[in-house]
Amino acid sequence: MLYLFLYLLYNKTMKEFRIENDNIIYTICEYDKMDYQKLKKHMHPFYEILYLLDGEINYIIEDKEYRVKKGELLIIDSAKFHYVKDIISPPYKRICFEFINDFVGDDKLINNIFIKTPHFILPDNSPIPDLLKLIEETNVDLPTDYHKSLYQSALKLILLSLFRLNNTVNQPKKSVSKTCKEILTYINDNITSINNIDQIVNNFFYSKSYISHVFKQEMQVGIMHYVRNKKIILADKLLKLGNRPTEVAKACGYENYISFYRTYLSFFNRPPSETKQKNMKRKKKKV
């Protein structure tokens, strides 16, 4: 049986309900004001669905800024840098699903959803708010053995509902300059071959210090920190596809396996071989 972690946490700025296992993290959070320790800038290997129960926020996904209101929804692809920029109208209360492909069991559906524009304004007849309310109410009394089935069923229905929607909304604001956008594009197009900042700098007519400053100021994260996180999340995806750790390290441009191993262990808290073994066991169970 999957290990399930459940807790309630209260403090002056945040209330949180959280259920977590290897395949999914489900949270309900409420913030009365900006909490920069909790609302950190980050990226991860999970797909994410964020539904705003209350409030209004400005939300950054990579180089775009979205203004999200109560009753609206964001989808965030894996390995996308994202964070709450500010809370316009508190309290900021949201439901969030973070999950991997295997949890839903339908790669085609996930791929078709996460190529869409991230911001959804749900129509009045959308079943999604009712589904989320059902989960919230059922969590209290449902034995933990049944949480997985609840989330799998509800999440697939939510994804199918999003698949049917044409999510054309107001164009998001650009959150970075043209220069920073060009740097981002270069990084994402060449992520497997970048091992140091000089490899980036050599492709632009700017100094190393200027590129570092612009990227850190506009993305709110160091440029090589961003590169390392992108690269290790890509490596995680390749491992889950069944590739050998040594092959993955080479494919992602690591200069040696030890460097890859240490970076992966530090980011995911497990060695690369363990990820591959877990994935192989999941595939055998499906067969």
Q: CATH code at 239? A: 1.10.10.60
CATH number of the domain bearing residue 48: 2.60.120.10
Q: How far apart are CA 34 and CA 31, in angstroms?
A: 7
What is the pLDDT at residue 10?
Answer: 39
DSSP classification of residue 93: E
Closest CA to 197 of 219, 228, 229, 235: 228
Q: How far apart are CA 212 and CA 219, in angstroms?
A: 10
Closest CA to 273 of 251, 257, 287: 257
Tens digit of pLDDT for each residue in 226-261?
A: 999 999 999 998 998 889 999 999 999 998 999 999
Q: Is 169 inside any structural domain?
A: no
User: Does residue 211 share a domain with residue 133?
Assistant: no
Tens digit of pLDDT for each residue in 120-163?
A: 999 999 999 999 998 888 877 778 788 888 899 999 999 999 99
Q: Is 170 inside any structural domain?
A: no
User: Does residue 157 share a domain with residue 23?
Assistant: yes
Closest CA to 22 of 281, 286, 284: 281
User: Does residue 159 share a domain with residue 222?
Assistant: no
Read off the pLDDT of each residue in 90-100 and give the average, rounded to a whole number: 95
How many separate domains does the chain show? Answer: 2
Read off the pLDDT of each residue in 59-78 and give the average, rounded to a whole number: 95
- Please give the residue range of the domain that contains residue 42: 5-164
User: Does residue 188 share a domain with residue 153?
Assistant: no
This prediction's pTM: 0.85
